[in-house]
A and B are shown apart, each in its own frame.
Chain A
Amino acid sequence: MDTIFALASARGKAGVSVLRISGAGAWDAVSALCGGRLPEPRRAALRRLIWQGDILDDALVIVFAEGASFTGEPSAELQVHGSIAVVDAVMRALGQMPGLRLAEPGEFTRRALENGRLDLEQVEGLADLIEAETEAQRRQAQRSLSGALGRLAESWRRDLVQAAALIEATIDFADEDVPVDVTPEVTALLARVQADLSAQIAGFGAAERIREGFEVAIIGRPNVGKSTLLNALAGRDAAITSDIAGTTRDVIEVRMDLAGLAVTFLDTAGLREATDAVEAIGIARAQERARDADLRVFLIAPGEDPTELAQVQPGDLVRIAKSDTPAAGGVSGKTGAGVPELLSEIGEILSQRASGAGLAVRLRQRQGIAAAADALDRARAALDPGGAASEIVAEELRSAARALEILIGKIGVEDLLDTIFSSFCIGK
């Protein structure tokens, strides 16, 4: 079974991030980072982590033997300095080691369960965490695709579907009216995707600045005091970096720097009744945006029952507007009561939950792009006019598509069949 790693986001103490590694290769991986100086099991030891000549961090390292760890497998914990840049560098190093891969949400828990290392009564609580993690990663992945990358990914998908459909047509419909040699067209399609992937890979270099963008949506009925709160948030510990109207009149964006994170607050018109069709579209869009935000702050009027707000999801924050008693969940943009508390809670949640998700998604995208580029190289190498190895080409195209799944979505056999049946007249 693969060795998996992940940022144990929820557990991190302030200033410290914990990376977990589990599986047969866990000790070797740690040993590779510590220059072979593996500590005694269950003894925390300070080690300098070095990968390919670069010093990553001075970390507290603990290894656990099989049968004596959270998952029951040989495992390790790396406590590194909490900065995103450090965590990212260590995760990238781990991701480059053979046999290691980023854990899927819930995978540690699953292994622990299977190895009988978990009190079954604990599972429900863990399930909530897994749910939150899955959701956070989904949102990150979704958002990262909204810009230029998303447009690229769409064209990769189109080209890969087309290339794979052509190859599959020559395989599954060999005795039908389909072209015998699809090499020229497939080569052109793959070359285009390969060029894009290479350009992306070139951009992965060390120069890449780690600066996560987070989105926090403030949601509430009109006149509940969202704008005042937003101004207060912006005017306090945070510095406004820009104040621009959103692309629709229904979203106001305010960007600021919070605890070293780039945070965009969204003032959305999410809970308003639409009066006309145009407004309804705007509201729907704003609601979507709010749903995909890393965190939502619901602002309710005193006396309003928060459980009635359908959009509230686990992990969201709820505050009572125009109230001077922070202890009772109140906040006031006007007096400033409760604002520091709110900011620090937002900062904490983002740096723990959302940054883990962001790093995981980015690592997965980067690894996917690299793996896909390799698979496409192999596919190109196997292409020949006679189609002698077309099943190998097809296999490599599948690998490429799977590697890019987080960017281009799943490509299933139906997608290929649709393309085949609409391009060729199949059927004897």
Chain B
Amino acid sequence: MKRFDVIVIGGGHAGTEAAHAAARMGAQVALVTLSTRDLGVMSCNPAMGGLGKGHIIREIDALDGVMGRVSDRAGIQFRLLNRRKGPAVQGPRAQIDRALYRAEMQAEMTGMANLRVIEAEVTDLRVDTGRVTGVVLADGTTLEAGAVILTAGTFLRGTLHIGDRQLRGGRMGDASADRLGDRLRDLGLGVGRLKTGTPPRLDGRSIDWAILDRQEGDAEPVMFSFLNRAPFVRQIACGITHTNARTHEIIRENLSRSALYGGYISSTGPRYCPSVEDKVVRFADKDSHQIFLEPEGLEDHTVYPNGISTSLPEDVQDAYVRSIRGLESVRILQPGYAIEYDYFDPRGLKGSLELTALPGLFLAGQINGTTGYEEAGGQGLVAGVNAVRLVRGEDPWLPSRRDSYIGVMIDDLRANGATEPYRMFTSRAEYRLSLRADNADQRLTETGISLGLVSETRKAAFGAKMAALSAARDQLSARIVTRAEAEDWGLPYAASGERRSLMDYLSIVPDTAAALLAQGGVMEGLDPETLTQLSRDATYEKYAHRQDAAVEMLRRDEDMRIPDDFDYAAISGLSGELGAKLAYVRPQNLAEAGRIEGMTPAALTLILARLRRLARDRGAA
């Protein structure tokens, strides 16, 4: 029997990130996946990042994860979304060459000495006295591990729907993992069904590009990774077209043949990824919807029509697609479809992503009710780190709402579960102005270093950047602006006569001051990139200050850890109902306890008192 520290099931976006993180920390890791070709496969759209999602990739990168680096190497069109809005809501996004992404991901994974990729189907978990201790493969082999991370994506009891036709599968062309799915249901975990969908893939050679509008990438592309400065491969443009009245008519006439509207699917899909059927029905007054035609790669003729995912039968897909301008004689290479799959109620997870009910088993990615590569990757990283920490007997690492989108996501999932596939939006983060894509490294790399996740190369680059920032800040703070200079430079002078430094001006009038400094002549030797970063920080300084008190309170409450075996029944004065709820949810700290519905200040006081008593007793023992 083979033994590893950590076994990861599934080589999707959660699985690769989990395995790589665990391996970076020095653990012996096995990544078991149905096919080695799975590594880096993008099931749906050939794009990475966006608003909220791009933020997550930056956070993964700040912790030296793979998604950002690989995306940069495979990116064929980069756009920074919201370029004209403030830095807090700018999100990097890129079109990705699928084949390159897979190749680069495979290179990353095989480049790790202590990471073994095993091609096999996991059919069962090995459970010893209530703890997961390994996995069983289809051929009967057992692999042992200190911790197991399950990242099976849409594969658990996956069903594909094309019109009234159903196929078993984890995605088109791949078998589903039904045996493991059935086993997990037997274990009595809270299982639900969710659905998502994907559009037909088109043959780019049959598209009339000449008559279509085009969308180019940014003239100055912004990369995902803090370590990269420019794209690696040739850049391309996307096409733009629209549905029209005829398209909508065809869809409306055939609604009853759609899996969604014909009653074949009952589970919930994401509201922000509606099928074209949904769009036509729910927004009946709109006579046109935009479609982006995204090439799937430099050497690939396949085109992904973003905006028309569907579960209509193939002949209807053919008809409606051909009603669209520029697609009149298009060939469909693979039909669109909807997929239903099992997911686990994320309220059963600890903040570490370990299952409360089944110690030793961590869950990450789509099976936790999320959707999207980035959301999966972020969870994979957290699970990877915590699996290693569990094996080593260390306390879990719990990212917080204060420090990252990853923290926001895990907290949201655990608090609210998933009523529809969960996707990140920047509006989910109450500390959005502090959780920016541009400062993900300033927020997280230090943590990454202490977790043992960060390579020497990045450590050095990060150290240099932080030193430059702090030197420039000192330099600007020391430079006091006289009244005459202020007038000369068009900076507001304080009526009180208060002395202001250039650094002060950077936060009072960030744009004016940054422009002034960039133009030179005021202070020499400032590195433009350092200056830009300082002014981004300064832009939000006063808002960050306003939130300081709230952040501080949250931090204190988070520091008040509640042990896993905390006995709520032993607190007299706590209502039975609330006690039962707490015992089920098992908040990990006082902040989480406070967010539980029905929680009262009195109950929190009682919990706090008991925590203090436990601490006192422990101190005395």
Which residues in A have some Cβ–Cβ distance to B below 8 Å? 1-2, 104-107, 109-110, 113-114, 116, 118, 120, 123-124, 126-128, 130-131, 134, 168, 171-175, 177, 386-392, 394-395, 398-399, 413, 416-417, 421, 425-428
B86 touches A131 (CB 8 A): no
Q: In the complex the two chains form, what is the Cα distance from A311 to B355 in whole Å?
A: 39
Task: Determine the chain B residues whose CB is within 8 A of the CB of A126 once the complex forms.
Answer: 605
Across the two chains, which residue of chain B brings its CB closest to A172? B425
A391 touches B85 (CB 8 A): yes
Q: Is B620 positioned at the interface, with any CB of A under 8 Å from its CB?
A: no
Q: In the complex the two chains form, what is the Cα distance from A426 to B275 in whole Å?
A: 11
Q: Is B84 positioned at the interface, with any CB of A under 8 Å from its CB?
A: yes
B50 CB contact (under 8 Å) in A109, A134, A175, A416 = A175
A391 CB contact (under 8 Å) in B86, B274, B292, B606 = B86
- Interface of chain B residues 592 through 621 with chain A (CB within 8 A): 600-606, 608-609, 612-613, 616
List 10 additional A-B contacts (Cβ < 8 Å) besides A171-B85, A171-B427, A390-B89: A106-B602, A106-B605, A118-B609, A124-B572, A175-B50, A175-B81, A389-B85, A417-B425, A417-B427, A426-B271
Q: In the complex the two chains form, what is the Cα distance from A127 to B273 in whole Å?
A: 47
14 pairs from A and B in contact (CB 8 Å cutoff):
A2-B549, A105-B601, A110-B604, A113-B608, A124-B606, A171-B51, A174-B81, A175-B50, A387-B84, A394-B432, A417-B271, A417-B427, A425-B274, A425-B289
Task: Determine the chain B residues whose CB is within 8 A of the CB of A171 once the complex forms.
Answer: 51, 82, 85, 89, 426-427
A394 touches B427 (CB 8 A): yes
**How many A-B Cβ pairs are below 8 Å?**
132
B85 touches A109 (CB 8 A): no
Q: In the complex the two chains form, what is the Cα distance from A395 to B545 in whole Å?
A: 13
Task: Determine the chain A residues whose CB is within 8 A of the CB of B601 once the complex forms.
Answer: 104-107, 130, 134
Across the two chains, which residue of chain A brings its CB closest to B539? A392
Which residues in B have some Cβ–Cβ distance to A below 8 Å? 45, 50-52, 81-82, 84-86, 88-89, 93, 270-274, 278-279, 282-283, 286, 289-290, 292, 306-307, 425-428, 430, 432-433, 543, 546, 549, 552-553, 572-573, 600-606, 608-609, 612-613, 616
Q: In the complex the two chains form, what is the Cα distance from A126 to B433 in whole Å?
A: 39
Enumerate the 3 nearest inter-chain pairs by beta-carbon distance, A residue then B residue, closest first: A106-B601, A123-B609, A131-B602
B543 touches A395 (CB 8 A): yes
Assuming the A-B contacts A128-B602, A427-B272, are A110 and B307 also in contact, with contact meaning beta carbons closer than 8 angstroms in the complex?
A: no
Task: Determine the chain A residues whose CB is within 8 A of the CB of B306 once the complex forms.
Answer: 428
Name the residue in A175, A388, A389 with the highest tally of chain B Cβ atoms < 10 Å from its Cβ.
Answer: A175
Name the residue in B52, B81, B605 with the highest tally of chain A Cβ atoms < 10 Å from its Cβ.
Answer: B605
A98 CB to nearest chain B CB (Å): 12
B608 touches A391 (CB 8 A): no
A124 touches B573 (CB 8 A): yes
A69 CB to nearest chain B CB (Å): 18
B612 touches A120 (CB 8 A): yes
Across the two chains, which residue of chain A brings its CB closest to B309? A427
Interface SS, A side: helix
Task: Determine the chain B residues whose CB is within 8 A of the CB of A110 once the complex forms.
Answer: 604-605, 608
Q: In the complex the two chains form, what is the Cα distance from A29 to B378 in whole Å?
A: 47
B289 touches A177 (CB 8 A): yes
A395 touches B427 (CB 8 A): no
Task: Determine the chain A residues whose CB is within 8 A of the CB of B546 once the complex forms.
Answer: 399
B272 touches A123 (CB 8 A): no
A81 CB to nearest chain B CB (Å): 29
B232 CB to nearest chain A CB (Å): 24
B604 CB contact (under 8 Å) in A106, A173, A421 = A106
Task: Determine the chain B residues whose CB is within 8 A of the CB of A113 once the complex forms.
Answer: 605, 608-609, 612
Task: Determine the chain B residues whose CB is within 8 A of the CB of A127 once the complex forms.
Answer: 573, 602-603, 605-606
Name the residue in A107, A116, A426 with the highest tally of chain B Cβ atoms < 10 Å from its Cβ.
Answer: A426
A378 CB to nearest chain B CB (Å): 10
B549 touches A120 (CB 8 A): no
Assuming the A-B contacts A127-B606, A425-B286, are A389 and B292 also in contact, with contact meaning beta carbons closer than 8 angstroms in the complex?
A: no
Assuming the A-B contacts A134-B601, A425-B274, are A128 and B425 also in contact, with contact meaning beta carbons closer than 8 angstroms in the complex?
A: no
Across the two chains, which residue of chain A brings its CB closest to B274? A427
B86 CB contact (under 8 Å) in A168, A177, A388 = A388
B89 CB contact (under 8 Å) in A109, A391, A417, A425 = A391
Task: Determine the chain B residues whose CB is within 8 A of the CB of A394 once the complex forms.
Answer: 427, 432
Q: In the complex the two chains form, what is the Cα distance from A392 to B88 in whole Å?
A: 10
A386 touches B605 (CB 8 A): no
Task: Determine the chain B residues whose CB is within 8 A of the CB of A172 once the complex forms.
Answer: 51-52, 89, 425-427
Q: In the complex the two chains form, what is the Cα distance from A131 to B599 in whole Å?
A: 11
B605 CB contact (under 8 Å) in A123, A168, A174 = A123
Across the two chains, which residue of chain A brings its CB closest to B616? A120
Q: In the complex the two chains form, what is the Cα distance from A117 to B95 in whole Å?
A: 59
Q: In the complex the two chains form, what is the Cα distance from A110 to B612 in whole Å?
A: 11
A395 CB to nearest chain B CB (Å): 6
Task: Determine the chain A residues whose CB is within 8 A of the CB of B428 once the complex forms.
Answer: 413
Across the two chains, which residue of chain A brings its CB closest to B87? A391
A128 CB contact (under 8 Å) in B52, B82, B573 = B573
Across the two chains, which residue of chain B brings its CB closest to A126? B605
